[in-house]
């Protein structure tokens, strides 16, 4: 059997006595795109952040290519492992003091130890992939939200991650800028990238997702292929959530 890229087993996370994730288990296969939906506060962001250890899980474990994601070891080992996960934030979080190019180049240079010129060459290629070559020398403030998010995607891709994690990548964008970001994500998925995407863009999920997961109260309440889960959700929670979403 082929080892899944990500294996999550009984992952739990509490903040104080607030149980945010309750024994979540799931696998993500190579090249698979998993979309996570669920009401605000259901634990989607926390789940993604526990995968790359931006947040320390309270219990359970995560494996990447079969290797446990460490919580001990040297800072460098932990950082190197974390860099195998590409993470795209809701609010882009680009570095405002760098050009688009340097936002993408800084990781390869400082983390992978590439020379500045090699890092920039790689960054230029990644910017091309997200159709941002024309804006390479601009600072983030000079870019629209959609452009910033595409640079953020390139920044993550430049680390050659095993999997890309997206946390509501279009929810902070003006409606007219959403599609350009979704298009880039779709190209990535079609190119074989393994992706876990938290999003409420139903059309994207329908077209791109191999599997949709509905989260409720820190649990996976339901999962399945999009055409089935969207058409006939079984759990009352998913039914209510999807009805609410399509009526917006």
Partner 1 sequence: MTIDWGIILESIPLLGHGVVVTLQVSALASVLGLVLGVVLGLCSLSHSRPLRLIVAGYVDFIRGTPLLIQIFLVFFALPALGIRFDEFWAGVVALSLNSAAFVAEVVRGGVGSIERGQSEAATAIGMRHRQILVYILLPQAYRQMVPPLTNELISLVKNSSLLSVISVYELTRAGQAIISVHFVPFEIYTLLAVYYYVLIKVLSWLSGRLERRLPTW
Ligand X SMILES: Nc1ncnc2c1ncn2[C@@H]1O[C@H](COP(=O)(O)OP(=O)(O)O)[C@@H](O)[C@H]1O
Q: Interface with partner 1 by CB under 8 A: which range of 4-12, 91-99, 168-176, 217-225?
A: 91-99
Residue 237 carries which DSSP code? H
Q: Which does 43 bind (CB under 5 to 8 A by kind): Mg ion, partner 1, ligand X, none?
A: ligand X
Name which position in 5, 6, 8, 20 contacts ligand X (CB under 6 A): 20
Residue with tokens 């917006």: 248
If contact means CB under 5 to 8 A according to the sort of partner, which of partner 1, Mg ion, ligand X, none does residue 94 touch? Answer: partner 1
Work out whether 171 is an interface residue with ligand X (CB under 6 A): no
Neighbours of 186 (CB within 10 A): 15
- Of 43-51, 105-113, 205-213, 220-228, the segment contacting ligand X by CB under 6 A is 43-51
Contacts of 54 (CB under 8 A, 6+ apart): 82, 87
Question: Is 91 a binder of partner 1 (CB under 8 A)?
Answer: yes
First to last CA, the chain: 43
Edge to edge, the sheet with strand 67-68 lists: 18-28, 6-15, 59-64, 67-68
Query: CA-CA distance, 52 to 122, in Å (whole number)?
Result: 23
**Binding of residue 225 to ligand X (CB under 6 A):** no
Question: Token pair of 104, please?
Answer: 């993408």
**Contact positions vs Mg ion (CB under 5 A):** 45
**Contact positions vs partner 1 (CB under 8 A):** 52, 54, 75-76, 79-80, 82-83, 85-87, 89, 91, 93-97, 106-107, 110-111, 139-141, 152, 155-156, 158-159
């Amino acid at each position: 059997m082929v080892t899944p890229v990500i294996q999550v087993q009984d992952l739990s996370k509490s903040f104080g006595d607030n149980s945010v994730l309750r024994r979540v288990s799931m696998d993500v296969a190579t090249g698979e795109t998993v979309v996570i939906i669920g009401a605000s506060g259901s634990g989607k962001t926390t789940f993604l952040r526990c995968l790359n250890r931006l947040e320390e899980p309270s219990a359970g474990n995560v494996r990447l290519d079969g290797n446990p994601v460490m919580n001990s070891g040297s800072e460098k080992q932990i950082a190197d492992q974390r860099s195998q996960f590409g993470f795209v934030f809701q609010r882009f979080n680009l570095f405002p003091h760098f050009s688009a190019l340097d936002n993408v180049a800084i990781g390869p240079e400082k983390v992978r130890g590439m020379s500045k010129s090699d890092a920039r060459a790689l960054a230029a290629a990644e910017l091309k992939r997200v159709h941002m070559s024309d804006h390479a020398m601009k600072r983030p403030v000079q870019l629209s939200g959609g452009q910033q998010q595409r640079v953020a995607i390139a920044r993550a891709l430049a680390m050659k991650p095993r999997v890309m994690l997206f946390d509501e990548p279009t929810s902070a964008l003006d409606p007219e800028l959403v599609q350009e970001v979704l298009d880039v994500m779709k190209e990535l998925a079609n190119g074989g990238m393994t992706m876990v995407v938290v999003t409420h863009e139903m059309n994207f999920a329908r077209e791109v997702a191999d599997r949709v997961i509905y989260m409720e109260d820190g649990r996976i309440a339901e999962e399945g292929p999009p055409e089935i889960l969207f058409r006939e959700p079984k759990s009352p929670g998913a039914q209510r959530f999807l009805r609410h979403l399509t009526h917006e």
